[in-house]
Structure 1
Amino acid sequence: MKRFMAGLAIVLLFVAVFGVFGMMAEAAYPERPITYVIAFNPGGESDITARAQQPYLEKVLGTQIIITYKIGGGGAVAWSEVPRMRPDGYTIVGHNIPHIILQPLQRKDTGYKTTDLKTVCWFEATPNVLVVPVDSQFKTLEDFVKYAKEHPGQITLGGSGSYSANHLGTVEFNEAAGIETTYIPFTGSGDAVPAFLGGHVTGLMTYTTMVANYREQMRPLAVATEERVSIFPDVPTFKELGYDYVEGAYRGICVPPKTPDEIVNKLADAFKQVNETPEFKEKMEAMGFQMVFYGPEESEKFVEDRVEYYKSILDKLEMK
């Protein structure tokens, strides 16, 4: 009996000691730099956002944030690696809606499922906007639609990625307007803009952020929001012009599915603090971003709802 009690005491001591060490380890996170992976080209919305967040995140988390890029497949190259990453919180990956929903729904070679990505949070949104060069023959959306009807398939619209908000938005608008345009996918907004400025596409189905950055070179014809965007008060919405079309992208952060909730919650809290910093918020909104925030639990429900929403849209449309 004495041996049993002595053995039990040792076991309890072992559990207590390692339990304390475990809690200390969790409390210490992060103890080293965190790698922030961007799935698109430098210069696009994801990259602009990460660069803006970087100094604020470093201050909140008390460690270095290293931004790297893994480009390809409209984001799928980076997202397909998430399930295989170590679930320790030291690699976080920027991800997007509708990309992470549409890609697995529309492609067999995506390399990941939507549920493979554990969302930490969604922190911003960017509405779609249709733009043409400032010297374009299209002065209004009416001009654009009239030409597209008379010349089916001749208008080319560039955008960020395949099975993305820009891609889906182009298909949705074609359907709403009864026209046919040709969508040209680029590896990110930062890659699409030079092609646009070089005259390689007729226009872009891009995001409000790109218009904010290239005001002198882009003529926005309409924005895909319910109401006009405050930084472009003179740009009409598609809806007010008679087209039932609202679309855009959400951006956030994901980690491997087995990442401990304690780490996920700490990261989510850090991004929330950054979003709530007045200086940061003002800077982002001036660039055309809409600041939102969904934490881990809200994000799970949000993704589920968006999956059903996009399934309903895909039932009506044929992605081209």
Structure 2
Amino acid sequence: MLTALAIGALAVTGSAGAAGYPDKTVNYIIPFGPGGESDISARLQEPVFKAMTGQTLAIQYKPGAGGAASWSQLNGMTADGYTVMGTNLPHIVLQPLQKDVGYQTDDITTVFWFHYTPDALMVPADSPIKTLKDFVAAAKAAPGATTLAGSGTNSANHLAQQRFDKLAGIKTTYVPFGGTGPANTALLGKQVAGSWAYTTVQMSLGAQVRCLGVAMEQRHPKLPDCPTFKEQGFDLVGGAYRGVAVPKSTPADVQAKLAATLAKINADPGFIQKMEEGGFAMLNVGPDKMGEFMAGMKAQYGALAKEMGIVKK
């Protein structure tokens, strides 16, 4: 009898917890340092979260190993919905393929993917390369001579370079830098012919660069003059994806409530405007689409990892 009562009490407690969630501050861990796209988007989410729930998102930074230091600890954290963590693609797929990083892709329970920064190919504004057609012609004329900056090895930028080279039948040389800032400096200083970057970079650099193509289904609303790769004959869509994950033992109803709240934030007109003004592209992948979305991403990145020779032995 006592056992039955205890079980009933636990059930009621769990249900009430989800119904009232959140009723206190939610700790939002960014597995990188401050100032990057993950931080910027979290800070844009925070006031909308507070307006909708009455609670605060306490943003904190735990950088290390490209995010792996935090992701490897996620499932050991308190699983009550009050500890959440930023999660990123292609990171959580590629890192475990390269080496032992303390977690596997399927260990990361992402409840919602809310945006991505589309890959964009750009050159200095005064470059003789005016169009994507010019770029491809130059690369074909001198295989390997076209140098392109990017934010790190095996990053979304690097994958975009590999994918586009294959689609266009060209060979370019990717030059990895320690982040977007150094890559931008190299581009503006003409140390490289061009750069694989993101729409966020195009927004920040403005007229100093020329955008040859953006990896979106349709043109970015704030970059109407930058054509998509698809409209120029190349099926290239992608970039760096960002979402929110929780420890895997977080109750399913709490996960669902968190996902629903993030979906509401993503539908807020003011939030959308600020995100798009920053160069971000909105994305809405919740629990109902998560399995299909992740299966597709794992297949795509896994195939690229093999082609690039970065799969661990």
Q: TM-score range by the shorter chain?
A: 0.7 to 0.9
Is the 1:158–1:183 Cα contact (8 Å) retained in structure 2? yes
* Secondary structure of the corresponding residue to residue 40 of structure 2: helix
Shift of 1:53: 0.6
The yes-or-no answer on 1:103 pairing with 2:99 is no
Q: 2:74 aligns to what?
A: 82
The count of corresponding residues between Structure 1 and Structure 2 is 310
RMSD over equivalenced CA pairs, Å:
2.8
The yes-or-no answer on 1:30 pairing with 2:22 is yes
CA distance in 1, matches of 2:8, 2:232: 67
Which of 30, 42, 45 is equivalent to 1:53?
45
Q: 1:303 to 1:158 in 2, by over 3 A?
A: same
Q: Deviations over 1:169-218 (max 9, x none)?
A: 11111222333333344554456434544555443212212212221322
CA distance in 1, matches of 2:187, 2:31: 21
Q: 1:139 aligns to what?
A: 130
Is the 1:41–1:188 Cα contact (8 Å) retained in structure 2? no
Which of 304, 308, 311 is equivalent to 2:295?
304
Letter of the structure 1 residue corresponding to residue 27 of structure 2: T
Shift of 1:314: 4.8
Is the 2:220–2:281 Cα contact (8 Å) retained in structure 1? no
Q: 1:187 to 1:112 in 2, by over 3 A?
A: farther
Q: 2:63 aligns to what?
A: 71
Q: Which moved more, 1:289-298 or 1:46-55?
A: 289-298
CA distance in 1, matches of 2:178, 2:51: 31
Q: 1:28 to 1:228 in 2, by over 3 A?
A: closer
CA distance in 1, matches of 2:40, 2:66: 17
CA distance in 2, matches of 1:38, 1:297: 25
TM-score (norm 1): 0.83
Q: Which moved more, 1:220-229 or 1:237-246?
A: 237-246
The yes-or-no answer on 1:270 pairing with 2:292 is no
Identity of aligned residues (%): 46
Larger Rg: 1
Q: Which moved more, 1:82-91 or 1:12-21?
A: 12-21
CA distance in 1, matches of 2:259, 2:24: 18
CA distance in 2, matches of 1:216, 1:74: 31
Q: Which moved more, 1:201-210 or 1:251-260?
A: 201-210
Letter of the structure 2 residue corresponding to residue 32 of structure 1: K
Shift of 1:11: 5.1
CA distance in 1, matches of 2:154, 2:137: 26
Q: Deviations over 1:143-162 (max 9, x none)?
A: 43344345544443333444
The yes-or-no answer on 1:318 pairing with 2:308 is yes
CA distance in 1, matches of 2:15, 2:235: 52
The yes-or-no answer on 1:91 pairing with 2:83 is yes
CA distance in 2, matches of 1:78, 1:203: 33
Q: 1:88 to 1:307 in 2, by over 3 A?
A: same
Letter of the structure 2 residue corresponding to residue 177 of structure 1: A
Q: 1:242 to 1:295 in 2, by over 3 A?
A: closer
Shift of 1:54: 0.9
CA distance in 2, matches of 1:216, 1:111: 43
CA distance in 1, matches of 2:79, 2:183: 33
Is the 2:159–2:304 Cα contact (8 Å) retained in structure 1? no
Q: Deviations over 1:25-61 (max 9, x none)?
A: 4444434322222234433322221111111112223
Structure 1 portions without partners, runs of 5+: 1-7
What pairs with 1:163-242 in structure 2 (closer than 5 Å)?
Answer: 163-186=154-177, 188-189=179-180, 192-199=183-190, 201-242=192-233
Is the 2:119–2:198 Cα contact (8 Å) retained in structure 1? yes
Is the 1:186–1:192 Cα contact (8 Å) retained in structure 2? yes
Q: 2:108 aligns to what?
A: 117
TM-score (norm 2): 0.85
